[in-house]
Amino acid sequence: MRFAKGHGTGNDFLILPDPDDSLGLSPELVRSLCDRRTGVGADGILRAVRITAHHAPAPGLAVADWFMDYRNADGSIAEMCGNGLRVFARYLLAHGLADGPAFVVATRAGLRQVFQEASGEITVDMGAPLLLGHSAARVGGVECHGLAVSLGNPHLACVVDVPVAGFDLSAPPVVDPARFPDGVNVEVVRVCGDRHLEMRVYERGSGATLSCGTGAVAAAVAAAREQVNGTAADSERSGLAGRWTVDVPGGRLVVTLGETTTLLTGPAVIVAVGDLDQAWLSDLALGAVSGIA
């Protein structure tokens, strides 16, 4: 089994090329691969499948050549990953699997346009964020109020007035399970300058990570709404436009909020490529069959 390791602002992924959609990717295998001590280590898995081999029904897939099958580190399936999509695009470009600088990738959240900038950074058109009203999360014992935002995957972006480094993200934030039955990514966000944010995140299925691309977009949306009037009606878009710098523990992202869409720009790095050891895979499969894994 071939793999590549990459990251976007410290949010790291394993890319598994599977053009023919023949790889059985069980939750147990995902968890084992992402384990940082006994596996390769990653925040998630990006499986690269050619659209011609991908059988999941989705409208408009013909305009894309590749489907990004994203899995969280715990083996669960996620709809979208902004950092992951940039890394996915970098891998396709580096291996001659896509013609740049612009092309389309299919995800569970729909089609996403990607573009390689002259600087080498990757920009993703994230579509229009959906504003879903307010809710609260208890983060390390601190009650935080935030804006629920969907980017295909769910977020609760909480704008705070103290440095985000002080928040304890060692355990999952406590949220309203009726409001977020499938879990939610929780961001703590502080405005530290003109259209300049700092952000930390706890991602459902992966834990505290060094960065989250969709979370950076949600953070910018929440901060923009606070600047406008402190409230947000469902799907209200006025006053959101502008360019925001978002600093995360792993680096810096740029979010450009438009009237009808949103752009996410940042670095994407391929660190290594290699092969998984067949004996390790065989032992893993035997363990799963016997109930050990």
Q: Which residues are catalytic?
A: 81, 212
- The structure tokens listed for 212 are 């989250």
Residues 6+ apart with CB under 8 A from 63: 104, 111
Count of beta carbons in the 10 Å neighbourhood of residue 151? 26
Coil vs helix vs strand at 178: coil
Residues 6+ apart with CB under 8 A from 4: 14, 15, 17, 91, 270, 271, 272, 273, 274
Cα separation, 293 vs 289, in Å, equals 8
CA 211 to chain centre: 8
**CA–CA–CA angle 173, 10, 280 (5° rounding):** 90
**Residues composing the chain:** 293
Q: Which residue has the tokens 């069959």?
A: 289
**Are residues 55 and 20 in contact, defined by beta-carbon separation less than 8 angstroms?**
no
Q: H or E segment at 224?
A: helix 213-228
Beta bridge partners of 48: 17, 68
